[in-house]
Amino acid sequence: MLNIQITPNPTLSPKPTGALGFGRIFTDHMFLMDYTDGIGWHDPRIVPYGPLTLDPSAQVFHYGQEAFEGMKAYKNASGEVYLFRPQMNARRSNLTNDRLCIPQIPEDDFVQAITTLVRLDADWVPSAPGTSLYIRPFIIATERFLGVAPSKTYLFCIIISPSEMYYTSTLSAVSIRVEDNYVRAVKGGVGFAKTGGNYAASLAGQKRANAEGCAQVLWLDGVERKYIEEVGSMNIFFKIKGKLVTPALNGSILPGITRDSVITLCKDWGYEVEERPISIDELVAHQQSGALEEVFGTGTAAVITPVGKLCYQGETLTINSGETGPLSKQLYDTLTAIQRGECEDPYGWRVNV
């Protein structure tokens, strides 16, 4: 259990009144904790939100030794605030840490740090439908040393941001470009980890998708550019002749917590769910035969984002007439109701803050 020292912010900011957007507004406080080789994690504290001071030679700036997470706190009309499966984020964060040679943070300490910060800034958790408090824990290598080696010191920081959904606030379907040149990750690399380099590597593909009028990139595998992997910040699901198909977790895909939750819900609703390799050619064939009924992405920021169009090699494949499908809608409604404490929580996914 952490002994968190709290320094209240003497000048509280006014709460936002207009549109929140995503990830642009931050609350009054942030959490910090240091790591020093030989001592371990120490000095957990909450301080006023503000700039960090780092040495220009800090390793994170040069070799990218960094890990992050993304999760949300939700507030319902009764003012109750919930986290959604935070222990899963704590566990995944340590998977990332292991791969990046960053020291682990005990899962309970990770969750305690988040809970304490969210409780302190609970007034910032928005409650309008589609809004939530986005939580961004991250760890950076801070040692002053221009050598390629695991850092001997780290900083763990958590910032929180009242936000809307990432892609769409109305559950309208988005267009996604299938990228067949750039790749995001390969097996044996860091694709399964949540580390900044994966996202830096994705920007060129993202830029091209945007230039062609698409919101995001659908990545293919890094070896054959044949098998579907995931979207920029979402896992992807296909409803094909009543059955749900999603790429298997193969080491180059992020093991999404929303993905896991959607699989659980769909199986309970009687759907057959296949986690397996699915090629882009198979998908195109299903679209052409009319077997492809729905496509949607899943993610913390994206929640359930329906995909209405896939742009691949100059062609546009329209799915479900470009509309949000019934399963996407049902999943969105159920998941957000569980997250916001507006229905039963049969799986024990909610954590009251």
User: Interface residues with ligand PMP (CB under 6 A)?
Assistant: 70, 230, 233-235, 254, 256-259, 298-300
Closest separation in Å from C-beta 37 to ligand PMP: 29
Task: Report how far residue 102's alpha carbon sits from residue 90's, in angstroms, rounded to the nearest whole number.
Answer: 14
Pick the closer one to ligand PMP by CB: 240 or 302: 302
Closest separation in Å from C-beta 32 to ligand PMP: 22
Pick the closer one to ligand PMP by CB: 30 or 190: 190
Pick the closer one to ligand PMP by CB: 2 or 165: 165
Closest separation in Å from C-beta 233 to ligand PMP: 4
Task: Report how far residue 78's alpha carbon sits from residue 263's, in angstroms, rounded to the nearest whole number.
Answer: 29
Pick the closer one to ligand PMP by CB: 235 or 324: 235
Inter-residue contact 115 to 353 (CB < 8 Å): yes
Pick the closer one to ligand PMP by CB: 249 or 291: 249
Task: Report how far residue 258's alpha carbon sits from residue 298's, in angstroms, rounded to the nearest whole number.
Answer: 6
Closest separation in Å from C-beta 251 to ligand PMP: 13
Inter-residue contact 221 to 252 (CB < 8 Å): yes
Element at 40 (helix H, strand E): strand 40-48
Task: Report how far residue 242's alpha carbon sits from residue 277's, in angstroms, rounded to the nearest whole number.
Answer: 18
Task: Report how far residue 205's alpha carbon sits from residue 272's, in angstroms, rounded to the nearest whole number.
Answer: 33
Q: Which two tokens stand for residue 229?
A: 């992997």
- Shortest-Cβ-distance residue relative to ligand PMP: 256
Pairing label, strands 71-75, 81-84: antiparallel
The three-point CA angle 229-233-234 to 5° equals 60
Closest separation in Å from C-beta 90 to ligand PMP: 12
Pick the closer one to ligand PMP by CB: 29 or 259: 259
Element at 92 (helix H, strand E): helix 86-99
Q: Which two tokens stand for residue 230?
A: 């995931």
Closest separation in Å from C-beta 96 to ligand PMP: 11
Pick the closer one to ligand PMP by CB: 233 or 339: 233
Closest separation in Å from C-beta 171 to ligand PMP: 17
User: Is the CA virtual torsion 267, 95, 163, 324 positive or negative?
Assistant: negative
Inter-residue contact 342 to 332 (CB < 8 Å): no
Closest separation in Å from C-beta 306 to ligand PMP: 16
Pick the closer one to ligand PMP by CB: 85 or 286: 85
Inter-residue contact 173 to 323 (CB < 8 Å): yes
